[in-house]
Amino acid sequence: MSIYIKVNNTEYPAEINGNPKDRSWGERDTKTVTLTMTAAEVATLLPDNTPWSIVQRETLDVLDEQGNPTGETKEVVNEYDNSEYSLAGDITDHRDGTVSIKMGKPTETESAKATVTALAGEPVTYARAVELRPIIEQASVSLSDGEAASVPELITAWAYPVAYAEGDRRSYGGKVYKCRQGHTSQADYTPDKAPNLWAVIDAEHAGTQADPIPAARGMEYEYGKYYLDGEDGKVYLCERTGEQAGGKIVLQYLPHELIGNYFKAV
């Protein structure tokens, strides 16, 4: 088997070793990449935040229907994205024509700081971030449903016990939900388990066959629109005998589970 790293669609022969808890670098998860080039070339090839992947190439025998070798071979290629190892660390020149560079994952603290910086536009203290959070949540109220659905991190999280009014939006489990009727929340009735109280909001999709809406349990489906079922990767039309296009219904099921009742495969 031959190992390469792939950067900017170019493959370079490499040796790669992993260390899930590198004590010399803040106990972060790292991968050491050894390449045949100069230290300056490695530094240019793999600066911080460079997308890169590991490519494995292997030549295997072609087998017949009985599992016997045919005398022919084929190349099997597997590629694994490693862009999460985005921090460029120490570079070591081995003085034999090879150079190693450590590529590390950001720690949780570093990721949190980067997220706050991206949101605030500049580095801020934790105390300042706490002050900004309710302002961000308040500003998010002005977003359309489609815009809100695309940024669940900015939407106030669902909590209990809280009195909610019809139309309130809350984030839960990486999705944004809209309150269907006023109620006081309870621990056992999270938005994903209470379709009579909450409906998943879709990020803006046309609902056409070319631009189907990603389906979710607890979603408010609309008759006449198309939905992409994430479990089987197929597109379905929401329809039901006697129902007019534009009518809506909240279902705690995915389209493939209700074929013939509320959905038709296309």
pLDDT for residue 218: 82
Closest CA to 156 of 170, 167, 138, 141: 170
- In which band, very low, low, confident or very high, does the pLDDT at 220 lie, cut at 50, 70 and 90? confident
pLDDT for residue 241: 87
Give the model confidence (pLDDT) of 187-196 as tens digits: 998 998 888 8
Give the model confidence (pLDDT) of 135-180 as tens digits: 888 888 888 888 888 889 889 999 999 999 999 999 999 889 999 8
Closest CA to 220 of 167, 259, 260, 174: 167
Give the model confidence (pLDDT) of 106-147 as tens digits: 988 888 777 777 777 787 777 887 888 888 888 888 888 888
Q: Per the confidence metrics, is the pTM higher than 0.75? A: no
Quickly tell me which residue has 């409906």 as its tokens: 199
Give the H or E element holding residue 113: helix 108-120
